[in-house]
Amino acid sequence: MTIGEAAKRAGISAKRVRHYEEIGVLSKAARSESGYRIYDETDVHILRFVNRARNLGFSMAEIKRLVGLWKNRRRASREVKKIAKDHLVGLEQKIIELQSIASTLRHLSDRCSGDDRPDCPILQEIEFSSNK
């Protein structure tokens, strides 16, 4: 199938398919005599796998490792679990950071009168924080 067909079946753009090939997440496609890329069901399956992993927030480096492990039927599941657990730790840390940011913005928004006066504690906090 063509790159357009493979991309459509995987739910991604052809540009993204080419990018995955360039960075080695997807093997280089075979070429037709006229030079067009040719894909098969395995490629579409890998593209769907990559898309789902991206939706779970894995980095491209992690996805590349996961694809390699997925292809290797002799893999140890502990390797896959380690990648997932490490990713989860990073996500949980990011959640804590985002909750802190939300709390700060909530506090500042509550202090801001939001009227026609120029005084704004939100801007003052941003200014003060940038001078540290």
Give the residue from 73, 89, 117 where a domain finishes: 73
What are the backbone angles phi and psi of residue 108, rounded to the nearest 5°?
Answer: -65, -40
Q: What is the pTM of this model?
A: 0.78
The answer to whether residues 40 and 102 belong to one domain is no
CATH code assigned at 50: 1.10.1660.10
Question: Residue 106 pLDDT > 90, yes or no?
Answer: yes
- C-alpha span between 66 and 57 (Å, rounded): 13
Count: domains in the chain: 2
The reported pLDDT for the residue numbered 51 is: 96
Based on the domain organization, do 107 and 58 belong to the same domain?
A: no
Clarify whether residues 89 and 128 are in a common domain.
Answer: yes
Token couple for 29: 């496609």
Strand ranges (E), 20-113 = 30-31, 37-38
- Domain membership of residue 41 as a residue range: 1-73
**Residues 85-98 pLDDT 10s:** 999 999 999 999 99
**Nearest alpha carbon to residue 11 among 47, 53, 38:** 47
| Residue 88 and residue 36 in one domain | no
Q: Side-chain half-sphere of 16: how many Cα atoms within 13 Å?
A: 15
Give the C-alpha distances (Å, rounded to integers) separating 42 from 6, 112, 130. 10, 56, 51
**In this structure, are 62 and 109 located in the same domain?**
no
65 with 3, same domain: the answer is yes
Same domain, yes or no: 20 and 56: yes
Q: 4: part of which helix (H) or strand (E)?
A: helix 3-10
The pLDDT assigned to 82 comes to 97
Residues 22-69 have pLDDT tens digits of: 999 999 998 988 988 999 999 999 999 999 999 999 999 999 999 999
